[in-house]
Amino acid sequence: MGKFRFRKRKQKQHVEREIPIRTMIPNLVTLMAAASGVTSIRYSCQGHWHMAVIAILAACVLDGLDGRVARMLRATSKLGAELDSLADFVSFGVAPALLVYFWIMEAVSPESAAYPFRGVFWALALFHAMCCAFRLARFNIMIEDGPKQPYWKHFFMGLPAPGGAGILLTPVIWQLHTESNVFQSPWVGGAMLFLCGVLMACRWPTISAKSLRVPARYMVPVLLFVMFVIGMLVSQFWPTLGVIGVLYLLSIPVSGIVFLRMRRRYEAKAPVPPASPLPPNT
């Protein structure tokens, strides 16, 4: 009888991967921000403007927390980055555009001069949402291949998505506070949709609060000012929010001026490359 060799087959043991709970917390915060944006769309469809604006503000707060929570828990991931972009598109692109569109349509009656331009206002709402999507896609690319000049670290390239949503909602906030029809104008709303979309999609530098530094001697006045703003938000929420939106809009041209000065200063200090030698005369 011949000899047979039996090979022992190694049984593959299925090892179940375990994910720590702490790594899920930042993604849950991001999903809550997206849920706030979708909830704002629901309130906008129903004409509940106060609740729609508050839902977008909640999305802004959650958007500012998810990244910090991820870094604090050391739970950053590619999945979280993709979720963050999708949540920002819903909360700061789609939701504010729909809110302003429905808010405009409430004031457009068949007797209004803006009634024949209803399709234009919808096109402007789409324009704002698409510009937000473009801005977020460019931001994701710039994380790995952004501008290398040191002065760019103090600025965003274009208006950030939460800032664009905040400026877009400023006329709505003032109208909710004053209950005046002056702010609820289709022309004002359409202009804001176009302006905020362009500012998000363009390369205009806007100030980044992450890189701001306060001198030690100004720490106490700055803290007192911040406490005053918090007190105003508690006592006079809507007008304080409207003033913040106006000031942020006015800071955009100031940011451009500061950026140009910093760039000229950097270019003046940068070493000049040596000139290439001339070819010998023949």
The domain spans of the chain are 22-267
Q: Which of 197, 192, 189 is nearest to 106 (CA)?
A: 189
Report pLDDT digits (tens) over 86-114: 999 999 999 999 999 999 998 888 888 88
- Higher-confidence position of 88 and 217: 88
Answer whether 132's CB lies under 8 Å from 200's CB: yes
Using CA atoms, how far apart are residues 69 and 72, in angstroms rounded to an integer? 5
Q: Using pLDDT thresholds of 50, 70 and 90, give the confidence band for residue 245.
A: very high
Report pLDDT digits (tens) over 32-82: 999 999 999 999 999 999 999 999 999 999 988 887 887 887 777 777 788
pTM: 0.83
Token couple for 248 = 């942020």
Report pLDDT digits (tens) over 143-176: 666 566 777 777 888 899 999 999 999 999 999 9
Q: What is the CA radius of gyration of the chain?
A: 26
Span 22-267: which CATH code?
Answer: 1.20.120.1760
Q: Which of 108, 125, 104 is nearest to 196 (CA)?
A: 125
Average pLDDT rounded to a whole number, residues 238-258:
92
What is the distance, to the nearest Å, from the Cα of residue 168 to the centroid of all Cα atoms in its chain? 12
Q: Which of 124, 123, 122 is nearest to 105 (CA)?
A: 122
